[in-house]
Amino acid sequence: MVNELLGRVAIVTGGASGIGAGIVEKFLSEGARVVIADVERERGEELAGKLGADVVFRSADVSNPEQIGALVAGAVETFGRLDVMVNNAGVSSKMHRSFLDDDLADFQRVMSVNVLGVMAGTRDAARQMATSGGGSIINMSSIGGIQAGGGVMTYRASKAAVIMFTKSAAIELAHYEVRVNAIAPGNIPTPLLQTTTTDKSPEELARFEHAIREQMRADRPLKREGTPDDIAEAALYLASDRSRYVTGTVLPVDGGTVSVTIGGSGPPVLLLHGYAETSRMWKPLAKVLAPRFTVIAPDLPGIGDSSIPTSGLDMKSSAERIHAVVHSLGYSKVRVVGHDIGLMVAYAYAAVYPEEVEKLALMDAFLPGVGGWEAVYNNPQIWHFRFYGPTPEALVKGRERIYFEHFWNDFAADKTHSIPEADRRAYTRAYSRPGRMAAGFAYFASFPKTAIDFAELAKTRLAIPVLSIGGEKANGVALGVQVKLIASDVTVIVLENTGHWILEERPAETIAALDRFL
């Protein structure tokens, strides 16, 4: 489309370089007149001079609300109106290996720019827009505000605050036809990291940034780095009439991600959930482990809040994606726990990266391709292994809760001691989102491929300690037999009068066993 912003006026804070400069150039190419606001006077004036008469530069420090007010007033004085406000200016916090080493010295600086600047920019722009028929406000968050992780805790907190503020402001300002949305970029090379306060030399910082970006690229379904133009296209959409019925939305632009929850302190433990659940299932265990371990609980690719890959929704590919995430968090050795299909991803992780796994716990499922697997896979009572494709998706659509009740109730020894009601509602919501049920089905469709992969991997027995734990009335016995075929140091626990959902059916016994083993 051409001239989508013809006749409109926009302010872009932090507009002198990086993502901000990309947005300025995109808006200008679509007919807008633009005010570049930045503390980098030389860069800003140079860019404005290069782009022509429809662009002006104004020096502004967004951590000072008075300067933001003057910026908005100046834009209206210069161009006669204000239609779009992009609160893009931001700074990072100092990177720390551990939060315990963070002196919080840069807390005020980061929050003043990243949160106060966004709030003041939204307020002052909205005051003007409310008197002139409305407008669009775009706040720059980050994938770091959505996806938990370590390293730059203050920065992540600030970007998470931007998300909640954006959603709240969208509700209040809708009355004035002022739309408020956020963009969450990820893996976009900009000067932000390069100018982060750090004790690293420029050469060390360059090597570190290169390694991080390589890991991020390996994790993304889209195997390339993003560009400022990718973010600019998202900003154009939110600024234009194409998004006229969109407000309170956070738009990730990151090539696809694996959503991870992290907490605790100590050696890292990786927890991989199963089907009909998300990483939420691990909360009871995480509370016990957190005082002694760093708990890493991702949503499997395609499930929960993780992105849906365009290909490779199988156990080995998912293990590779999660491995990339673990490395991006700075961990080279982990202890791995998996339940249900998460068990299969956990085994793939340990078998593909044996030098990087210290212990492995497998919870109630089976291993395709390992001796005895056909008896489980071909059991006519377990029909869902082959229930996938367009027709099953159509049958289940709008009936996700009914479908999952079969698993939650029938696979438990006692359905009244299975998945709690609050979790059932949460899991139903997660899998009812577009594409999520198909992604879950894809894991079952991958069983034949997984059997080939695991048959080859099982030729090399694991040397690490492995725990097999399952229900007497589910897969506990069969799993124990299989695990002895793939590892030499095996402990087998079969929980009596217990079905498939061992963490929910026998929480005390399951948590105690895992805690002892890990």
Closest Cα partner for 414 from 343, 472, 467? 472
The pLDDT value recorded for residue 254 is 76
> Which superfamily does 9-253 belong to?
NAD(P)-binding Rossmann-like Domain (3.40.50.720)
Q: Give pLDDT, residue 209.
A: 55
- pLDDT (mean) for 331-336: 92
Q: Are 9-253 and 260-517 the same fold in CATH?
A: yes
Q: What is the pLDDT of residue 188?
A: 64
Quick one: pLDDT at residue 207?
61
205, pLDDT greater than 70? no
- Identified catalytic residue from 155, 275, 388, 403: 155
| Domain residue spans of the chain | 9-253, 260-517
Give pLDDT tens digits for 393-448.
Answer: 999 999 999 999 999 999 999 999 999 999 999 999 999 998 999 999 999 999 99
H/E element holding 464?
strand 462-471
Residue 327, pLDDT score: 75
Output the CA torsion sign for 231, 236, 238, 242.
negative
**Is there a contact between 349 and 336 (Cβ–Cβ < 8 Å)?**
yes
Cβ partners under 8 Å of residue 428, min gap 6 = 400, 401, 404
* For range 497-512, the mean pLDDT: 98
Structure confidence at residue 325 (pLDDT): 80
What's the pLDDT score for residue 307? 83
H and E: helices and strands count for the chain: 21, 14
More confident residue, 487 or 227: 487
Q: What is the pLDDT of residue 105?
A: 78
pLDDT at 194: 46
**35 membership: H or E segment, kind and range:** strand 33-38
216 pLDDT higher than 70: no
- 272 or 198: which carries more pLDDT confidence? 272
Residue of 428, 437, 341 lying closest to 396 (CA atoms): 437
* Average pLDDT of span 72-99: 88
Would you give the distance in Å from CA 60 to the centre of its chain?
32
Known catalytic membership, residue 155: yes
DSSP letters, 317-340, are HHHHHHHHHHHHTT-S-EEEEEET
Spatial separation of the C-alpha atoms in residues 64 and 69, rounded to whole Å:
9
Share of the chain above pLDDT 70, in %: 89
Q: Where are the alpha helices (DSSP H) in 139-279?
A: 153-173, 191-194, 202-219, 228-239
Q: What length does the chain have?
A: 518
CA 245 to mean position of chain CA atoms = 25
Q: What is the mean pLDDT of residues 470-489?
A: 98
User: What's the chain's average pLDDT?
Assistant: 90
Which one-letter amino acid corresponds to residue 147?
Q
Confidence of residue 195 (pLDDT cuts 50, 70, 90): very low
- Average the pLDDT over 256-283 and give the result: 88
Provide the pLDDT confidence category of residue 339 given band limits of 50, 70 and 90.
very high
Residue 328 confidence (pLDDT) above 90: no
The answer on pLDDT for 49 being more than 70 is yes
Binned at pLDDT 50, 70 and 90, residue 192 comes out as very low
* pLDDT the model gives residue 88: 96
DSSP symbol at 112: I
The CATH code of domain 260-517 reads 3.40.50.1820
Q: pTM to 2 decimals?
A: 0.61
Residue 14 has pLDDT above 70, yes or no: yes
Say what the pLDDT of residue 193 is: 47
Sheet arrangement for strand 9-13: 55-59, 33-38, 9-13, 84-87, 135-140, 178-185, 250-253
Select the more confidently predicted residue: 328 or 242: 242
Of residues 4 and 261, more confidently modeled: 4
Side chain identity at residue 223, one-letter code: K
> Pairing mode, if any, of strands 55-59 and 33-38?
parallel
Residue 134 pLDDT level (bands cut at 50, 70, 90): very high
pLDDT band at 218 (very low <50, low <70, confident <90, very high): low
